[in-house]
């Protein structure tokens, strides 16, 4: 069965992303076409790039890097839940992505973003990063507005219409994850 990791891309205290990621997981688990698990960056504390050798060599020295690599390698695709900070994604998410290389290759990725303009600018940056990591980013995404999908900018109350967009994105992530499986085996 296709395994999809839902990456919670914020580690900030009081983060809005936890409610968003749990919403994604809850809806995803209603499906029978893939297995879904939450990957919380708080469970993978990664100092800022403390590996001496670039990740493209795959020669990890640090135990935390090896654990992170095993986690990411075990999935066929991903949904990244990202905030938008200063027109980009969170530093914690970017750092976690930059720790690895081959573990991301030939896997699909979709995005659920949130921010003042739905997190669109964070996703623009993540799409560029995905291309460099040889990931297939899917077209459909869920963009949540802090003004319309959060009460007082902090209590997550998504518009019910987002569920359809989420399932469309999940359809694409699962399809592309399956299509890329033969590349991951080689």
Range 32-58 average pLDDT: 96
pLDDT tens-digit readout, 46-74: 999 899 999 999 999 999 999 999 999 99
Range 20-39 average pLDDT: 98
Q: Rounded to whole angstroms, how far apart are CA atoms 149 and 163?
A: 12
Which candidate, 52, 49, 23, places its Cα nearest to that of 36? 23
pLDDT tens-digit readout, 111-170: 999 999 999 999 999 999 999 999 999 999 999 999 999 999 999 999 999 999 999 999
Whether the CB-CB separation of 143 and 119 falls below 8 Å is answered with yes
CA-CA-CA-CA dihedral for 58, 62, 68, 73, to nearest 10 = 30
Q: Structural domain of residue 155, as residue ranges? A: 3-185
pLDDT exceeding 90 applies to what percent of the chain? Answer: 98
Q: Token pair of 25, please?
A: 């997981």
**Nearby residues of 55 by Cβ (< 8 Å), 6 or more positions away:** 98, 99, 100, 101, 102
Indicate the number of domains in the chain: 1
In terms of DSSP bridges, do strands 3-8 and 35-40 run parallel, antiparallel, or are they unpaired? Answer: parallel
**CATH number, residue 113:** 3.40.50.360
pTM of the model: 0.97
């Amino acid at each position: 069965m296709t395994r999809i990791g839902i990456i919670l891309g914020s580690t900030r205290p009081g983060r809005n992303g936890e409610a968003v990621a749990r919403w994604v997981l809850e809806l995803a688990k209603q499906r029978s076409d893939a297995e879904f698990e939450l990957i919380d960056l708080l469970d993978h504390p990664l100092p800022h790039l403390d590996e001496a050798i670039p990740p493209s060599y795959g020669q990890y020295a640090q135990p935390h890097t090896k654990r992170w690599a095993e986690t990411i390698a075990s999935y066929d695709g991903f949904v990244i839940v990202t905030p938008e900070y200063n027109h980009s994604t969170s530093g914690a998410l970017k750092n976690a992505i930059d720790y690895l290389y081959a573990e991301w290759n030939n896997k699909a990725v979709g995005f659920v973003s949130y921010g003042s303009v739905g997190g669109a600018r964070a996703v623009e940056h993540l799409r560029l990063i995905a291309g460099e990591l040889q990931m297939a980013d899917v077209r459909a995404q869920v963009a949540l507005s802090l003004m319309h999908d959060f009460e007082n900018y902090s209590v997550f109350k998504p518009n019910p219409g987002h569920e359809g967009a989420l399932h469309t994105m999940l359809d694409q992530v699962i399809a592309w994850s399956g299509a890329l499986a033969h590349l991951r085996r080689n």
